[in-house]
Amino acid sequence: MPRRELNNAERRIAGSVDAVSPVEGEQVDRSVLRHTLGVDLDPELLSLALTHRSYAYEHGGTPHNERLEFLGDSILGQAVTVKLYRDNPELSEGELAKRRASVVSTIALAEVAERIELGPHILLGRGEILTGGARKPSILADTVEAIIGAVYLGCGPDVATDLVLRLVGPLLADSERFGAAMDPKTSLQEAAARQNQPAPHYEVTSEGPDHDRRFTAVVTVGRVARGEGTGSSKKHAEMAAALDAWSQLTGFVKPERTR
């Protein structure tokens, strides 16, 4: 499949291979990201995939990555659906749907983004920079989808499918955990009830300036601290702590991952 040519408006935001990271003034070498992705993607198309709408709005309304995100979401869903269908002939339609939902969830894709250290490469507006946008699960997940869409356009469907399966491979092997990750607080409460334990109780503390505050949550079950988690909001910290506690209560062992 031939490479897609960018239009003039898209080229205005592409610039060079290096770009300003979410830490203002710091330069990030995108060749590292391209090596991690393992695809020969046009630097201009990669730049478009990394451009959040907040950056585009602050730079004259230039194109951003939401159309690529829309495309990538479809490619991701198809690749995961086919993989699950072929590898799990014993599972019902309902079970396949649950596993697919867990693998393509915002939480799961944000973990993919963190594993490939995507955050520093995303072009963000000043407001998002000041509020820790490069760590927000929604922005990380959306950017992963945009990159998948860019690879589909620039390198073809086969390369895009291969990228999807490499990125989400650890999640497919970890589907039980990511099923719980979609709603960890409910999963923890159900696990505690099955063991005749009292309802989980959360305590949250925070530190740091308002624009970069970090929250830490500790969850206890039956007066025993079972899990701890951190996040950019109270909600995210509690969810991380709940997932940690769920893993302990259920004896879940997370598979080894390779970079």
User: Widest CA span of the chain, in angstroms?
Assistant: 63
Please state, in angstroms and rounded to a whole number, the distance separating the CA atoms of residues 20 and 52: 13
18 is catalytic: no
Q: Is 207 a catalytic residue?
A: no
Given 42, 73, 111, 244, which residue is catalytic?
73
Cα dihedral 163→157→74→94 (10° resolution): -70
Please tell me whether 69 is known to bind a ligand: yes
Please give the span between the terminal C-alpha atoms of the chain, in angstroms, as a whole number: 28
- What's the full length of the chain, in residues? 259
Nearest-5° Cα angle at 120, 116 to 124: 130
Given the residues 145, 174, 238, 244, the one annotated as active site = 145
Annotated ligand binding at 18? The verdict is no
Contacts made by residues 83-87, CB under 8 angstroms, sequence distance 24+:
83/165, 83/172, 84/172, 87/172
Q: What angle do CA 179, 181, 182 make, to 5 degrees?
A: 75
Residues 214, 208: Cα–Cα separation, whole Å: 6
Tokens representing 152 are 């589909």
Q: Is 10 annotated as a binding residue?
A: no
Spatial contact of 127 and 57, defined as CB atoms under 8 Å apart:
no
Q: What residues are designated binding site?
A: 69, 142, 145
Active-site positions? 73, 145
Binding residues for Mg(2+): 69, 142, 145
